[in-house]
Amino acid sequence: MALRPWSPIPIVEAGEPLVGLPPQLWRLQPHPYVSLGAPYGAHGNPFQLRSSVVERLLQAEHALRQAQPQCRLAIFDAWRPLAVQRFMVRHAVLQECARAGVNPDQPSPARDRVITEVGRFWAPPSNNPATPPPHSTGAAVDLTLADVSGMPLEMGGEIDAIGPASEPEFYAEAALADPNGAEALWHGRRQRLARVMAGAGFVQHPNEWWHFSWGDQLWAWRRSEGQARYGRIGEAASSLAS
């Protein structure tokens, strides 16, 4: 899997701790990666982020509820230690190989194509502190919209789905062609999520409608910042979170 265009951006660590998400932020549970057996370790609470990122998420939640009282943010995933990133990349490759009828353990052009496509969505589980996966920094969050009861809204594709339909603007043309169609509804919801997150300072992953971050290398790249605020944070630090 190739490095990202944001990988060369230097990191000047701000030193903020991970903190647990407060009750105002709805969590989608059971957590999908925990359910798969991903190795979080003794202090592996995935629902935690850097303190400033949590503050901005609360701003986004407040703005959304003000504009759309029937909606709320629903957190799918947040902090992800490196061991979990490695586990989930392998899981995604195995899943896509099975779907394509490809042997994941036999080198072939077909397997290479699967790995390349998975790499558009899953960051390499790099152990290099200069190129941390975004979720390992505590700066990235995967989320969607839900109704007031916490039931996720249909967004035109599942979180973590591999393929073009996961791109934020995938339904834009269909929405223009038929403003009353399902694609227009899904596009509008994606835009609503993107607007409320951007209003709180977050940037969106170019390939994923659900992925937003503040303070990591992706954020710095999309905002033309000279440096990122957060590097990879280890499992030991997560024990500080509630």
Q: Contact at 8 Å (CB) between 91 and 36?
A: yes
Q: Is 55 a catalytic residue?
A: no
Of the candidates 16, 61, 167, 208, the residue annotated as catalytic is 208
* Paired tokens of 78: 């947040």
Q: Contact at 8 Å (CB) between 145 and 193?
A: yes
Cα–Cα distance measured from residue 17 to residue 239, given in angstroms and rounded to the nearest whole number: 10
Query: Which residues fall within 8 angstroms of residue 82, CB to CB, at 6 or more apart?
Result: 125, 127, 132, 133, 136, 232
Cα–Cα distance measured from residue 215 to residue 138, given in angstroms and rounded to the nearest whole number: 9
* Paired tokens of 127: 């152990």
The residues carrying an active-site annotation are: 208
